[in-house]
Every structure is written in structure tokens, then in C-alpha cells.
Structure 1
Amino acid sequence: MLMWGINVSIIKILVEHFTPVTITACRIFAAAITVFLTLGILGKVRWPRHNEWIYIVGGAFLSVVGHHYFLSEGLSKTTAANGGLILGLGPLLTAILSMALLKQRPTKIRLLGFLLGGAGVSFTVLAGSGGVTAASTGDFNVFLSILSQALSFIVIKKAAETLDPRLLTGYMLLIGSVILFLISLWKEPWGLESLTNGSPAVWTAFFFSAILATALGHMVYNRAIGQIGAAEASIFLNLNTFFSLIGASLFLGEAILPAHFIGLLLIVPGVLLGSGSLEEWMLRQRRKLQQR
């Protein structure tokens, strides 16, 4: 979450120096190469089975193409602080989708969490930006980004039953980078020329984003989804929101407004309630009392 939070500011820097889709395709491709090199050393690379390709392609479109396309487009039109706070909806969206797709009925505690989290993000983005009229298309693109990622978590959890999530990550990144590159050729025909605009510092940021945040970050997180579940793993995305705010302040000089902190005060309990963490803690305490 630390790397992903800082990565929001780094992506903001990258899309200001290069065309958004082209640099995203290059970044994802570099991440894919990193994943396969790492898994090759570990002896974990194999050719997927026929039925596993469905999850790989679906995950590539959701987790890579949809998430990273809308994220880069969104951050080119809004602030890193706003982007990070909207990404804070990830846990709640994942919990909602998990319950909807698994036909689970949400409890009253979880419903309260959804309301608190949604109110926190809405308040922070709108009030922190100066009101409803200041909400930009960039904010909406970032929301589509986190919605795509939340859907991908469900796919990853299902695929993890037979396929190593780390290997799944590599295939998704590779396929997704190719699709993004084809989109960039259509949407940004001058995109490859923009790659000459980067300074050594900007390219250093690029490789940090590709290798640490995107490659290793997704490998670790997708493995966690396979081990503990989509909704359970998504609770930690709340830390992404916190670190993205800190990163925006440190690296981009963006102001942290009082509205941001008020929003976080709503988001944190919203995530704890909506993701079922509080209910799980209460259940554990009840079991301890029964065992005494």
C-alpha cells in the first residue's frame, strides 16, 4: 500500500511529461517483464490451461486495461490528492461486489459502512475541490478505474483456485500492456515521440512505478487475494488512500485541506464496517469468551 500510494503521485508526474496511454502501456509492459523474470528465477512459470485463459483475459481487461487506462487519463485531469481519495472507495466497492456476485445479504453494520465510506469520499472530493461544480471528468475516470480494479479482484480470487496469482499477474500485465499499446497507437499517434521528453529523474520515477509499484506490488497483493479473499484483502486499500495523500503533499506540493481529513475520518470507519472487519473482530472476541 505504501508503494501504491506513492505511485499515484508518480503516475501524476509521468502523465504530465508523456502522453497518458502510451506511457502506461510502456510501464505495464516493463512490469510484465519484471514479473516473468522474477517467477522464472523461482521456477514458477508455466503455460496456462485452457479454462484459465478466461480469467487471464478477463483480468487483463479489468485490472490492467480498464484500471490503468482510466487511472492515467483521470490523473491527467485531476489532482493526485483527489485521485488517491477516490481510490479509497476500493474496499467498499470490492465488498459490495463480493456480496452481490456471491448472493450474500449485507448486514446492517456493512450497510452503515458503505454509507460512511461513500459519504467520506464524496465529501472530500467535492468539498476539497471547491464544490460540486469543481468535480472534474478526471475524478469520474479515477472512479471508473477503481471500479474496474474491484471487479478484477473477484476474477483473481476465482482464478487463484488453480493458477498461482503471481503468474496470473504476469500474464494479465503482458496482455494488458499490448492492448493498451494498440489503444495508444489509435488515440495518441504522437505518443512514442513524447517519450523523448523525459529527464533522468522522470525515467527513474518510471522504473520505480513499473518495477516496484506495478510488478512487485501487484504480485504480492494478488497473492494475498488468493490466500485470504477479495473483500478481506481490500481492507488494506484504505492505507493506499492515506499514503497517496502524503505522497501528493511531499512530491507534488499539493495542499492537504481540512476537508481531506474530514473525509478520511468517514472513510476509515466506513471501510472497517463495510468490509466486515469489525464483525470478524466481534466474532473472535465472542469465541474467546465462550472458550473460557
Structure 2
Amino acid sequence: MMRSYLLLLFCVTCWGSNFVFGSMLVHEFPPLLLSAFRLTATSLFLLGYAWSTKRLQRLSRRDYLLLVPLGFIGTLVNQAAFFTGLQTVSATTASLVLSLAPITTALLAALFLKETFTLRMAAGSVLAIAGIFLVVGQSGGLALSRGLVYIGIAMLTFAASIIMMRRLTERIEPFIATVYSTVIGSGMVIPAALIKEPLQGSSSHLWAWALLIVTAIVMQGICGLVWNTQLRRVGAGKASVFLNLQPFVAMIVGFAFLGTPVTAVQLAGSVLIVGGVILATLKKKAKAPAPMAPGVPTA
């Protein structure tokens, strides 16, 4: 189980770093077109790896009944809602709403997957969310607006996609599920991006294209494979709690690469985030069984 947790931590570290690299790339590419380019690179990488390892396989119609909605909800609707919401909602407010994804996922997992939502998981999630409020420096309440509704939809579709992927990996291998869902999602995002945003707005800098391709392969390709594999082993609820670490990672990487200052309040919030994840994921040690009475059969 510890190996699974370390692999999940690796994924979240990459994804947290992705906020910093994404903030660099968003100045070089239109947002939705950037997503389309990255998904294309990820799809080509996954298809190439699957072909070289001869792991592609035919799926049943029942599998596509999950894959197509997963591509539509988890990729097309999620990306469109997120970038539309960011037109009127600040990144800080958006990150707060999106930080509700782990608890939403755990609740959906308890509802649809019959996973246990323990008091320890609830307490750890609340503690981590309190830390997120400190890390992002939010003060004041959230006023309901059209943009905020879009960000809420992005959060809900992300949580729903985790549940759908968890259900899908009960039927097929996580690698196959990752390949097919990514390719189908890309096929939906690319036309929407080409219609909404012209290609002329893309970067002419070689470093931007190189960063786009590398982050696509690592953040979305490799991490997607690792995450979906471990998702089946630890459960959707516990895996999603690790997502609370992303603001903490983004803060550290932002300081290292962009020189973004780190305040004492943010450090305090980071401690709460890490503490919340530990509280939600560590198991209590099993008690030693009581001695059996002579002649009593074991179950």
C-alpha cells in the first residue's frame, strides 16, 4: 500500500508542477487550443506505447458505453467549463472551488461504488481544505456568479470522471482504459478548439512547443497511466485525497522557477494540507487477535 501512496504522490507532484508550467504556456497558446495540442501529444504517446508493447485490444460495446461519456464529461465538458469560467473568475477563486474535488469524489465513491467514507477520511479532508484556503490566500466569501457556476461544473465533471474511470477499470486493464479514454476525449476537444480559437494564435517559440510536448507526455501520459493503475488498488476516495497536495506543490515549484514569494500563512496552510492527507490515508494498526479457546473452529 505504501508503494501505491508513493506513486500517487509522484503523480500529484507532477500535476502540481503543471500549474506553473501551464501558466507559462498559457501566454504562448490560446487556452483551449493548448489543451487540444497537449491531448494530441498525449494520445500519440499512449498509442505509440500501446502499439510497441502490443497491448491494444478490442473492446466491447458495453465498454464504450462508459468510454464515450467519460471522454465527453471528463475531457470536453471539463475543459470547456474550466476555461469559460476562468474568463470571469479569478484563478484563486477557481482553485478554491476545484479543491472541493477530493471530498466530492469520496462522496460519489461512497454513493456509486459503495466505498467506505470514514470519519478519519472526512476529518483529513476538512483539515486539508482548511490548509488550501491558507495556501491560496483567499479572504472573504464566494459570490455566486455565472463564471463560478462554470468552475463548479468543472469540479463536478473532474470528480465524476474519477468515479467513471474507477468503474471502467473494474472491467478492463487501467492502461487500456487510459489509452482509449484519452484518445476519445482528444477527438472531442480538438474540433471544439479549432472552431473556437484560430491556429494563428499559437506560439512561434521552439521552447514553448518543447515544454508543451514534454509536459503532455509526463503530466498527462505517464502520470495518467500510473494514477489509473493505483486508483484500482487504493480506491477512488483515498486516491482523490492526494489531490489536496497540488496547491502546496504549485507553491514550492512556483517559488523555485518563478520566484513567487512564500508567506508564513502559506507555510501554515501547507502543514495542514500534508497533515490532512496523512490523517486521511494512514491506516490504524490492526489489533492482535485474542487467543482462541480450545476446540473453537476458525472462520
Superposition TM-score tier, normalisation by shorter sequence: 0.7 to 0.9
Kindly state the Cα deviation for residue 210 of structure 1 after the two structures are TM-superposed: 1.1
The secondary structure found in structure 1 opposite 2:260 is coil
Q: 1:70 to 1:15 in 2, by over 3 A?
A: farther
Determine if the alignment matches structure 1 residue 58 to structure 2 residue 69: yes
Report the residue type matching 1:36 in the other structure.
L
Does the Cα contact within 8 Å between 1:156 and 1:226 map onto a contact in 2?
A: no
Q: Residue 153 of structure 1 is aligned with which of 149, 156, 162?
A: 162
Pairing 1:172-191 to 2, within 5 Å after superposition: 172-188=181-197, 190=198
Post-superposition CA distance 1:233-270 (Å, at most 9, x none) = 22433443332222222233333233322332333333
- Structure 1 gaps of 5+ residues are none
Structure number having the greater helix percentage: 1
Pairing 1:193-208 to 2, within 5 Å after superposition: 193-195=200-202, 197-208=203-214
Does the Cα contact within 8 Å between 1:25 and 1:181 map onto a contact in 2?
A: yes
Determine if the alignment matches structure 1 residue 27 to structure 2 residue 33: no
Distance of 1:186 and 1:237 partners within structure 2: 32
Pairing 1:1-292 to 2, within 5 Å after superposition: 1-71=12-82, 78=90, 88-102=99-113, 106-125=117-136, 128-129=137-138, 131-132=140-141, 144-188=153-197, 190=198, 192-195=199-202, 197-273=203-279, 275=280, 277-278=281-282, 281-282=283-284, 285-287=285-287, 289-290=288-289
Kindly state the Cα deviation for residue 47 of structure 1 after the two structures are TM-superposed: 2.2
Distance of 1:6 and 1:199 partners within structure 2: 21
Post-superposition CA distance 1:142-184 (Å, at most 9, x none) = 6644432221111111111221211211221112122212222
Distance of 1:173 and 1:233 partners within structure 2: 20
Does the Cα contact within 8 Å between 1:113 and 1:270 map onto a contact in 2?
A: yes
Distance of 1:84 and 1:110 partners within structure 2: 21
Distance of 1:247 and 1:260 partners within structure 2: 14
Distance of 1:176 and 1:4 partners within structure 2: 19
Of the structure 1 ranges 64-73 and 159-168, higher mean CA displacement relative to structure 2 is found in 64-73
Distance of 1:82 and 1:260 partners within structure 2: 16
Kindly state the Cα deviation for residue 14 of structure 1 after the two structures are TM-superposed: 1.6
Distance of 2:182 and 2:207 partners within structure 1: 25
Does the Cα contact within 8 Å between 2:29 and 2:201 map onto a contact in 1?
A: yes
Does the Cα contact within 8 Å between 2:125 and 2:241 map onto a contact in 1?
A: no
Post-superposition CA distance 1:177-213 (Å, at most 9, x none) = 222122223432x2x1112x23111112101111111
Query: Max radius of gyration: which structure?
Result: 2
Distance of 1:225 and 1:167 partners within structure 2: 14
Report the residue type matching 2:189 in the other structure.
L
Report the residue type matching 1:24 in the other structure.
S
Distance of 2:82 and 2:111 partners within structure 1: 25
Distance of 1:6 and 1:160 partners within structure 2: 27
Distance of 1:239 and 1:133 partners within structure 2: 22
The secondary structure found in structure 2 opposite 1:17 is coil
Percent of residue pairs identical: 27
Distance of 1:12 and 1:70 partners within structure 2: 18
Q: Tell me the TM-score normalised to structure 1 length.
A: 0.80
Kindly state the Cα deviation for residue 9 of structure 1 after the two structures are TM-superposed: 1.3
Q: 1:84 to 1:213 in 2, by over 3 A?
A: farther
Q: 1:64 to 1:34 in 2, by over 3 A?
A: same
Distance of 2:242 and 2:118 partners within structure 1: 21
Kindly state the Cα deviation for residue 214 of structure 1 after the two structures are TM-superposed: 0.8
